[in-house]
Each structure stands twice: as C-alpha cells, then as structure tokens.
Amino acid sequence: MSFKERQAALDGHVSDWAVRYAQFSELVCDVEKECGKGINQDQLLGLAKALEATPDEILNLRMSAVSEKSYINTDKFYAFVKLRFDGRPINLTLVVEAVGLIKAFNELITERVGVMFDELNHSTEDNRFHKAICLRRDICRLKALIRGGYGPTAVNVDWSAITPQEDYVDSLVTFDFLEEDCSWYLDTKKGPLNWFTGVDYPWQVNRCIELRQAFLNRLDVFG
C-alpha cells in the first residue's frame, strides 16, 4: 500500500474509534451533569449500580453518603467510583484501542518522512536543500507542539505560528519524541483510575491522534 492508502485506512479506523469516543463523552457528560445538581443517597447508589461499581465501592458510598440531596454525595461519587479497562458501561477500553492507532501513525510518519529525506538526498533540484531544512523545521515544530501542549485544537494547526525549540539546520532530527508522547498511558492497565484521571485519558489520546493526522496532512506541502 502507498503512504496515502495507509493513511486513508488509518483515518477510517479513527472515524470508527471517534464514534466510540463520542459515546463515551456523552455518557460521562450525562453522569457529571446529574452529579452537578447535587444528589441524595438513593440517587448516588442508583448511579453507582448503573455504572456497575464494585461491591467495595458501593459499601464505601453507603457508609459515607448523606441521605438528603447534597454535593457531599457528589464528592463521594468521584472519590470512590473508579474507571477500569473492562466492559462496564463507562470504561477505558477505547484508550487501549487508541494506543494501537497512535503507534500505527507513529510508524507511518517515521517511514514517510524517511522516504522523503531519501528522495531529497537523491534529488537534483536546486531547492532540495531548502526543502530538507523546511522538513526538519516542521518535525521540530511538531516536537515543540507536543512538548508544550496541544493548544485549543490539534486539528487545524497553524504550523507557521509554531516556533521550533531547537536547532533544525545542523542537529540530527529523530522521532523519539513521538514514543515519549505516548509513554504516560502505557501502565494505565495496572489498576483502576479515579474518575477525573480516567475521563481525561480518552481526551488525551484523541488529541494524540488528531495531531498526528494534522502532521501527515502538513507533509503534503512538500509534494
């Protein structure tokens, strides 16, 4: 398959994943909207059971909740109900799916850029050196964007507005930072996560995917 065909196939998988991400986000929004009103003990326990909280989690809620409608119960829900990598109504299996997509994007980016540099090395065009420097500059822009946070959107990136944080003319440029960008979630399956950490992970991996898609599209300007 050509690079474009591989990218199109990956984009298709991302579209399928995005449906599950949207469903996850909607469920989380519904729960947080309900909790945001303040809930009584019965509502708290009903919500925990609907999300298939563990017996220990439900016991902790019973022991610490107040009977009347209160934000104390909201706090207890977030303190005791955990998110897991399993089949519960709200779970983090979509993070695991995203990891595979991110790794595939990393491979595609690395391979495509490697071929581009190889073609420039064998090119006889007068502007080949300028193109190579611009390509190295955009790799460093990608690195700066990852290291500095993704900003308000990772879809419509203004690449010209990003300042590289290192020398891209004389220094060796590698893609090690792509793997580093994903290393933070590699150990997440070791145990349950608290609510706010858990719901943030799918958002983070979604941004990882979006940024890689944006960079691959950016490579089109080099021909």
* Residues of the domain holding 115: 93-222
One domain for residues 60 and 169: no
One domain for residues 97 and 70: no
One domain for residues 74 and 125: no
Number of structural domains (the chain) is: 2
Residue type, 61: L
Distance between CA atoms of 82 and 195, rounded to whole angstroms? 6
One domain for residues 64 and 98: no
Q: Exposed e or buried b for every residue in 84-123, given b needs 16+ CB within 10 A?
A: bbeebebbbbbbebbbebbebbbebbeebbeebeeebeee
One domain for residues 124 and 68: no
Instruction: Answer yes or no: is 183 within a domain.
Output: yes
One domain for residues 121 and 197: yes
Mean pLDDT by 10 residues, the chain (223 residues): 93 96 96 95 97 97 96 97 92 90 94 94 88 93 81 71 84 82 62 89 88 93 80
Instruction: Answer yes or no: is 23 within a domain.
Output: no
Q: Which of 58, 81, 104 is the last residue of a domain?
A: 81
One domain for residues 175 and 125: yes
One domain for residues 97 and 57: no
Distance between CA atoms of 155 and 182, rounded to whole angstroms? 18
**pLDDT attached to residue 168:** 83
Specify the pTM: 0.88
